[in-house]
Amino acid sequence: MSRPAHARIDLGALRRNYATARRSHGGQVLAVLKADAYGHGAVACAQGLAGHVDGYAVAFLDEALALRQAGIEAPILVLEGAFDAEETRVAAARAIWLAVHRREQIEWIAAAPNVRSAGRKTVEAATIHAWLKVDSGMHRAGFIGDDVRAAYQRLRACRNVGGISLMTHLARADEPASDMTDAQIRAFDAATQGLEAPRSVCNSAGLAAWPRARRDWGRAGIMLYGVDPMDPPALALEPVMTLSSQVFSVRDVAVGETVGYGARFVARRPTRVGLVALGYADGYPRNAPDGTPVAIDGRPGQLIGRVSMDMLTVDLTDHPQAGIGSTVELWGRQVPVAQVAKAAGTIAYEILSNVKRVTRTYIG
C-alpha cells in the first residue's frame, strides 16, 4: 500500500470556475497555469480545460513548452517574457505569445527569424504576438509614460510581429477600500490612449470586484482553483483541490504532556492524538498553529502540535470513532484552503503552489 497522502483534483470544478470568470469578465479570459497550475498539475489542468478556454498563461517559457509538448495548441502567453534572444526564437517557432516589458525584449523580437518549419517541404511565417506591458503604478515591470508609445511603435515596425496586446497588472485589487486600483486604471488608459490593440487589466481580483478594469482580456489565476481573492468572497467558486491523508498511529497523552517538536502543544485534558501522514515537505504550512481546522472522517477537527516534515498531529479526543485509517482532510470542500492560509499567516497562493510529494488523482 502506498503512502495515503493524496490530492484529488476536480477538473469539472476547474471548468466551472473558468466559466464563472468568463461570465464575470464579459470578454476573453486566459487561464493562468503558472507554478504547475498553482500546485494542481499544469498539463492535466490544461487538458481538462481544452476546448473551454480562450488561451492559457504561464510564468516562463519552459512552462509553455511543457504544454506544447503535451499537445496543447491554444494560445499560451509567457507573462515574464523571454529571458534572451534564443528564448524569443523558440517562442516564435512554437507560436507562444510573449509579454514585453523592457527594450531588450523588443530588439530580440526584431532580430528573430521570420520563418518556422512546418514539415520537410513547407515553411510558414513565424510571427510573434507581443503583449506590451505598461507599468501603471505597481513598479515591478513594464514601460512608463511616453516609453509605452515608443515601444508600441517599435513593435509595430517589426516585420515578425503579428499582433500586439496591451496589458498591466494591479497591485491592490484585492483591497476594495484602496484607491490605488482606480489610479492604475486611469494611468493605463492615459498611457495607451489612441493605441490600436486589445487590452488586459484584470487579474482574479479585478475580475471579481472591479468592473471598471474589465477590458478585452482577463487573466484568471487563483480564482480558477476555487479561491476568491476578495474578503468577503465576491464570487461563487468551487475548490478544485482536496488535500487529504490518513491517521496511521494513535496515542493518548495525559494532562500536562506535550506533543511534537518544541513541545508547543501542552494537553489541558486527557488527549487522544492522531498521527497523520502528511507534513511541510508535502506543502502543508509548517507554522500552522494549534487549532487550525481540519476535517476528520467528515467532521470538524483541529491540528495540534508543530507540523513536522513528513507528518502532523490532530486531536481525536472528540472523535471516538476515529482511529488508524481515518481520513483527514487538510483543505478542500470541507476545509477552505483560505482558512488554513489565514491561520498560518500566509496566502492560499503560496500553500497551494507548494503542494508536492503527494499522489494526484483527477476526476471530472
Closest to 352 measured CA to CA, from 334, 336, 335, 337: 337
3-state helix, strand, coil in the chain (%, to 5): 30, 25, 45
Do 347 and 337 contact (CB within 8 A), yes or no? no
CA–CA distance, 98 with 61 (Å, rounded to integer): 9
Q: Is 1 annotated as a binding residue?
A: no
Annotation says 34 is catalytic: yes
Do 274 and 250 contact (CB within 8 A), yes or no? yes
Angle at 144 between CA 138 and CA 146, to 5 degrees: 160
Instruction: Kindly tell me the number of DSSP H helices and DSSP E strands found in the chain.
Output: 11, 20
- Distance, CA of 271 to chain centre: 38
SS3 label, residue 17 = helix
CA–CA distance, 148 with 171 (Å, rounded to integer): 19
Candidate list 18, 225, 261, 284, residue with the active-site label: 261
Residue 307 one-letter amino acid: V
Annotation says 342 is catalytic: no
CA–CA distance, 193 with 163 (Å, rounded to integer): 18
Q: Is 94 annotated as a binding residue?
A: no
* Cell numbers describing residue 312: 502532523
Candidate list 34, 38, 133, 152, residue with the active-site label: 34
Query: Which residues, at least 6 apart from 354, have a Cβ–Cβ distance to it below 8 Å?
Result: 39, 283
Residue 353 one-letter amino acid: S
CA dihedral 317, 321, 326, 329 (to 10 degrees): -60
> Which of the residues are catalytic?
34, 261
Please state the residue numbers annotated as binding site for substrate: 140, 309
List binding-site positions: 140, 309
